[in-house]
Structure 1
Amino acid sequence: MKFLITGARGQLAREFISYFQEKGYGFAAFPKDELDVSDFEKVYQTIKEIKPDIIINCSAYNQVDLAEKEKHLAYKVNTIGVYNLAISAREIKAKLVHYSTDYVFDGTKTGFYTEEDQPNPLNEYGKSKLFGEFFIQEVLENYLIFRVSWVYGKGTQNFLYKLEEWAKKQEVLKIAVDEFSVPTSTRTIVEVTLKALDEGLTGLSHLTNSGYASRYEWAKEYFKLKGINKLIYPALQADFNLPAKRPKWSVMSNEKISKALGITIRDWREELKSLIR
């Protein structure tokens, strides 16, 4: 099997690349400056030339607040770019793996969100990701869409990295106590994705670690495990007055993918502890 990875400098792509190198998999990985997914001609030509069996799309515009005023950039990558990949994948009969977000939901549900729940994104980022899902489902039959949440790994575009940066400058950190989702590691995403590919699964699934947490709980747990002694103050989401509206509750169930693969996905606390150790 030959893989093509987009967005090669992002934290999720880096996890795939590390795994593939360790296992000796055949792959090609392209950062944005070498393969901009919004450039149809470049995408089409590259995929036709390499002829991968699997395309793993790790490209994403994920600046949630900036997307409110730069919506054209969010849609360019998260919607049009995904459409370009889907068209190109169909041309060579490759399977497309794509990652969406818990921000397709509005947070009004009581209980875990499942794949059957109706999306209703509150911000432009969530809308752009949802339209990307729609394009894949319209163009392809052989695809995997995974909705993920609060992703963290090796990189700077995640909450844990920002926490440590804030801790270097502030004695008291204000973290939202009324915003809930599932912290999910890039390691978990890679492991489950590859198992789903091995089993020949297709369609849309939620892919998260198990359990759920508020941002406040997540930050407290991380600082405890890291031995960082800073005061974390429980604030409200509304206190930050951010440009993009976020769902207060976007906790997704991983039951569908767990049952399909016959696995139990680690609780977010166990995963965090394991990775830090």
Structure 2
Amino acid sequence: MKYLILGKDGQLAKEFIKTLNKQNKELTALSHSECDISDLDIVIKFFERIKPDVVINCAAYNLVDNAEKEFWKAYNTNSLGVNNLLFASNEFKSFLITYSTDYVFDGTKEDGLYTEEDEPNPINEYGKSKLTGEKWIIDSEYDKYLIFRTSWVYGEGKQNFIYKLTQWAKNNEYLKIAYDEISVPTSTRTIVKVTLKALDNGLTGLYHLTNSGYASRYEWAKKVFEIKGIKKFIKPVSSDIFNFTAKRPKFSAMSNEKLKKTIGIDISYWNHELNTVVGE
């Protein structure tokens, strides 16, 4: 089985590459500079050359605030790019796996975690671009796909909240972290493990893929400092004080129960996973 991984410089792609190499899988990984997925001609060229059995799309535009001003950049990658991969996957009969976000929801749900049955209602351009990519796949006649909505992803590298947090700690006497932004910190290790399990089980469709439980950014930051032994004061504050360009859902935690039950897998709680990954 031949794997094609897009967005190889990102933290999720790096985890896939590491895991699949350990399993001696045949894979090709491409960066944005090598394969800009918004360019259909380039996408087709690589599909013709590689003829992948499985396409794992880790390419994403995730600069949430910038997307408000440069929305076309978000749509080029998160919408048009996904549609190009869908077209090529259909042409070459490849299985397509791509990732969406909890930001497809508006954060107003009050009776539990978001499930796959809840109606999306994104409140920023980033979320809208991801939802458009989802819809183009779901509304097509092609059924060899998996869409996973994830949240607060972290792994190796500098592209996540944990790295930024530790940098802030080096440069500030104390930190201000939002107590009213709530979702699910999710490790790249969990995403890769569950994705490959779902693939092995022949799963198709849209699912929420997160670690279990939920937390505020403040709780997440406190846990990171506890594990790393960082002795800095963190003040819980309202997210409103940061004056972000893009609106963000206050509560976007998603339930992974459907995925767990469907493939019969246990997914660890966010704090246990964090302790394992960061404490290594």
Fold equivalence (TM over 0.5): yes
What CA distance in whole angstroms lies between the structure 1 residues aligned with 2:25 and 2:46? 19
Residue by residue, what CA displacement relative to the aligned partner does 1:156-201 show, whole Å, maximum 9, x if unpaired? 1110010011111101110000110000000000000000000000
> How big is the shift at 1:135?
1.0
Instruction: Quote the residue 1:69 is aligned against.
Output: 69
SS at 2:139 equivalent: helix
Of all paired residues, the percent bearing the same amino acid is 60
Deviates more, 1:198-207 or 1:46-55: 46-55
Distance in 2 of aligned mates of 1:254 and 1:51 = 32
Alpha-carbon distance, 1:69 to partner? 0.2
Q: Can you list the C-alpha shifts for 1:47-72, whole angstroms capped at 9, x where unaligned? A: 12211100000000000000000101
Distance 1:166 1:47 in 2: 42
Q: CA RMSD in A?
A: 0.6
Paired amino acid for 2:265: I
In structure 2, C-alpha distance between the alignment counterparts of 1:134 and 1:201, rounded to whole Å: 18
Please state whether the residue corresponding to 1:239 is helix, strand or coil: helix
Could you tell me the TM-score, scaled by structure 1's length? Answer: 0.99
Structure 1: segments with no counterpart, 5+ residues: none
Q: Distance in 2 between matches of 1:41 and 1:127?
A: 25
Describe how 1:86-165 pairs up with structure 2 within 5 A. Answer: 86-110=86-110, 111-139=112-140, 140-165=142-167
Contact residue 8 and residue 29 of structure 1 kept, 8 A = yes
The offset of 1:137, in angstroms, is 1.3
SS where residue 144 of structure 1 aligns?
strand
Q: Partners of 1:197 and 1:270 in 2: how far apart?
A: 25
The answer for the alignment partner of 1:220 in structure 2 is: 222
State the AA in 2 paired with 1:115.
E
- SS of residue in 2 equivalent to 1:269: helix
Question: Which residue in 1 is equivalent to 2:246?
Answer: 244
CA contact (8 A) 1:48 1:88 kept: no
Q: After superposition, give the CA deviation of every residue in 1:18-48 in whole Å (9 maximum; x if it has no partner).
A: 0111111110000000000011100011112
Q: Specify the SS of the correspondent of 2:27.
A: strand
List structure 1 runs of 4+ shifted beyond 3 angstroms.
Answer: none
Tell me the amino acid that sits aligned with residue 108 of structure 1: T
1:263 aligns with 2:265: yes
Deviation at 1:7, TM superposition (A): 0.1
* Alignment deviations for residues 201-257 of structure 1 (CA, whole Å, 9 cap, x no partner): 000000000000000000000000000011100010101010000000001000010
Aligned-partner Cα distance in 1 for 2:13–2:224: 23
Distance 1:55 1:250 in 2: 28
Q: With structure 2 as the length reference, what TM-score do the two structures score? A: 0.98
Could you say what secondary structure the match of 2:67 adopts? Answer: helix
CA deviation after TM superposition for structure 1 residue 155, in Å: 1.6
Please give the alpha-carbon distance, in whole angstroms, between the structure 2 residues aligned to 1:100 and 1:74: 12
Aligned residues: 277
> How far 1:120 sits from its partner (Å)?
0.2
Between the aligned partners of 2:54 and 2:149, the Cα distance in structure 1 is 18
What is the distance in 2 between the residues matched to 1:190 and 1:232?
31
Name the SS for the 1:96 alignment partner.
Answer: strand
In structure 2, distance between residues paired with 1:156 and 1:134: 30
In structure 2, the residue matched to 1:3 is 3
- Paired with 1:116 and 1:105, the residues of 2 have a C-alpha distance of 12
TM alignment of 1:9-48, pairs within 5 A: 9-48=9-48
Give the counterpart of 1:177 among 176, 179, 182.
179
On the 8 A contact 1:146/1:206 being kept in 2, the answer is yes
The alignment partner of 2:191 has SS state of: helix
Q: Cα distance, 1:138 vs. partner?
A: 2.4
Q: SS in structure 2 opposite 1:119?
A: coil
